[in-house]
Amino acid sequence: MNPFPVILSSPSGGGKTTIAMKLLEARDDVGYSVSCTTRAPREGEREGRDYYFRSREDFEQGRQRGEFAESAEVHGQLYGTLRSEVERVISEGRHVVMDIDVQGAKQFMTAFPHSVLIFILPPSAEVMIGRLKARGSEDNKSLVRRLKSAKEELKAVDFYQYVIVNDRIEAAVSAVSSIVEAEEYRRTRVGGLSSRLADLMGGVERAIDHHSKGQ
């Protein structure tokens, strides 16, 4: 199997992080790329599991050292995907799932153009806003900021190959899982295809020769 990156994007409150976590529980052939961020940890979040929490200075230095496959400013904070995270998961032979924003996805595609791009849509604005409020971490100012960037993110849906409406989490996880499975059979990912075809072709030609002799 040729492991590939799977990018999940959605506006905040779209449910992509939950989907990514449930996909990891459901499949052992996928791993998660833990991002770096300058934002403060929310309650219950753990260093190295949810994010690598960095100061702005550390983040900027990492950027200059070329440690990021992509990085972007989202809601006034820096977020980035470490090359080492992508390489770690791929070298374990697993597909690497990433929960990144639209700007990050666009950058990442220039470095890893064989990535799979999935956009998760919340079923309605009400549900999305409700999910954001339920986090309890959103004061009015940051809620408005997230809603404004949600508007921008929604405009980028055309860049994505797949769209899933997340009205039932289990169905959304199973849709992502089906996409991963189908993508394994994409012609360009099938390992050893040209030598397999050459072998088949050789066998067919020999059979044609053999069976033509008696005619």
Interacting residue with ligand 5GP among 5, 15, 104, 122 (CB under 6 A) = 104
Residue 115 binds ligand 5GP (CB under 6 A) = no
Q: Is the CB of 94 or the CB of 107 nearer to ligand 5GP?
A: 107
Q: Work out how close the CB of 140 gets to ligand 5GP at its nearest, in angstroms, rounded to a whole number.
A: 17
143, 11 contact by CB (below 8 A): no
Query: Are 5 and 85 contacting, i.e. CB atoms less than 8 angstroms apart?
Result: no
Does 39 help bind ligand 5GP (rule: CB under 6 A)? yes
- In DSSP notation, 138-179 reads --HHHHHHHHHHHHHHHTTGGG-SEEEE-SSHHHHHHHHHHH
The 8-37 site mask, x for binding ligand 5GP (CB under 6 A), equals: ----x----------------------x--
How would you classify the pairing of strands 30-32 and 95-99? parallel
Per CB under 6 A, which region of 20-28, 89-97, 99-107, 172-180 contacts ligand 5GP? 99-107
Residue 196 tokens, joined: 């397999």
State which residue, 15 or 80, has the beta carbon closest to ligand 5GP.
80
Q: CA-to-CA distance for 201 and 24, rounded, in angstroms?
A: 40
Q: Which of residues 66-95 bind ligand 5GP (CB under 6 A)?
A: 70, 72, 74, 79-81
User: For residues 101 and 183, which CB has a smaller minimum distance to ligand 5GP in the complex?
Assistant: 101
Q: Which residue has the tokens 């950058």?
A: 107
CB of 62 vs ligand 5GP, minimal distance in Å? 12
Give the single-character DSSP code of 32: E
